[in-house]
Structure 1
Amino acid sequence: MTAASPTPGRRAYRSPRRQQQAAETRAAVLAAAAELFAGRGWTATGMRDVAAAAGVSVETVYANFPSKAELLMAAIDVGVVGDDEPVPLAQRREFAALATGSTADRIAAAARLITAINRRIGGLRRALGEAAVSDPVLAQKVAESEGRRRTNTREGVELVVGRPVDDDVADTVWAFTGVDVFHLLTDIAGWSTRRYEEWVRRTLSRVLTE
């Protein structure tokens, strides 16, 4: 006797409960990875450490992220936008807010967004920089990530001012809003994130309105 063949055109059953559990597991792994990479750095964080912190098996971590590098890059991606939904930064509500209200309102919104992103990814980017020293693939990822940030910065600046801007203006904002400057001011100089946000707001105002 042969096994019955599937009914033509019948879709495979997908359990919403199982999908939810898978999403929750992935989110837990990403949260654990973000905390460990940011706190310990690249070398001192292993996949087993992430699995233990997330309360899952190592096999589960690898099933979601085939390599340590992919896990770090995914954690950074989540840090940039604030969640693991597949929606680019430029399509987010926070980004659209850069085109709403007065110029002062838009600049304040930009300062809030920049501060939130740098606060979430500061430690992760340092871990990526550590890893990139000995890994050419990750070094390329760093360059690609900064390229995307440069593009997003120009788009954001043009939303704020309501017109195209030249390279000098776009690249000035791209440079001083980078995570390295955030690290210098908050971790080395001891600024609070509130003070940093206010500094970004004032500096943006000078660059974009004077």
Structure 2
Amino acid sequence: MTVAIRERVYRAPRREAQATATREAIVAAAGRLFADQGWAPTTMAAVAAEAGVTAKSVYAVADKAGLLLLALERHEAERPGGDVATELLRHYPLCRTLEHGAAAEPALRDAWRAHQRRHRADAKRIVRAVADAGQLRAGLPAGRAADAVWSLVTWHTVALLVEERGWGHAKLARWLDEVVRRQISDG
């Protein structure tokens, strides 16, 4: 006769909560450092110091590329739902880091391509809204209009305007409106 032995399941809710908090601290620290310093200067040791944990704890969460992906995922989940200018100002530092990281780290290349597909889809939504309002420039194909918005409104452009020219939210919002109006609209 075979006797089934029940395996005792060990659960430690306090330990699980602590592990979750540590993981969140690491991902948040990585996100801050990637946004502030970029890909190359952000080291695992710097993330550990910023999060107040050991490097071993950081490596237990993910490697450097994985940390950037987790930071981006967290960043997307925190989307406050503001206007386009607000989102660009909030998002461009991590977009820059992702592009630079993808150039150095093959594990990030698919994520960069996916980001570009989402960015192009956002441009298509803007064009669709202009077209639905009856203001798309006559004779301008929607695909070409989307390409114009997609290529002009990038992290590169935002970084130049904000970091080199000192633009804030209001000026960036006016410029975005002007770009859309001049490039794709009859209005």
Percent sequence identity over aligned pairs: 30
Hey, what's the Cα distance between the residues in 1 that align with 2:127 and 2:74?
A: 22
Kindly tell me: are residues 54 and 151 of structure 1, through their superposed partners in 2, closer, same or farther at Cα, counting changes over 3 Å? same
Hey, what's the Cα distance between the residues in 1 that align with 2:69 and 2:36?
A: 16
On the 8 A contact 1:79/1:120 being kept in 2, the answer is no
The alignment's TM-score, normalised by the length of structure 2, stands at 0.74
Q: What is the identity, as a one-letter code, of the residue corresponding to 1:120?
A: R
Aligned match of 1:69: 65
Is 1:38 aligned to 2:29, yes or no?
no
Aligned residues: 178
> Match for 1:153 among 123, 147, 150?
123
Unaligned runs of 5+ in 1: 84-92, 95-111
Give per-residue Cα distances to partners, 1:90-110, cap 9 Å, x unaligned.
xxx83xxxxxxxxxxxxxxxx
Shift of 1:209: 5.3
1:41-190 aligned at under 5 Å gives the runs 41-65=38-62, 67-82=63-78, 94=81, 112-155=82-125, 157-158=127-128, 162=132, 166-190=142-166
Hey, what's the Cα distance between the residues in 2 that align with 1:174 and 1:51?
A: 36
Kindly tell me: are residues 31 and 126 of structure 1, through their superposed partners in 2, closer, same or farther at Cα, counting changes over 3 Å? same
Hey, what's the Cα distance between the residues in 2 that align with 1:27 and 1:174?
A: 32
- Cα RMSD (Å): 3.3
Give per-residue Cα distances to partners, 1:127-181, cap 9 Å, x unaligned.
3333333334434432232122212332454356548x72012222222221111
Larger Rg: 1 or 2? 2
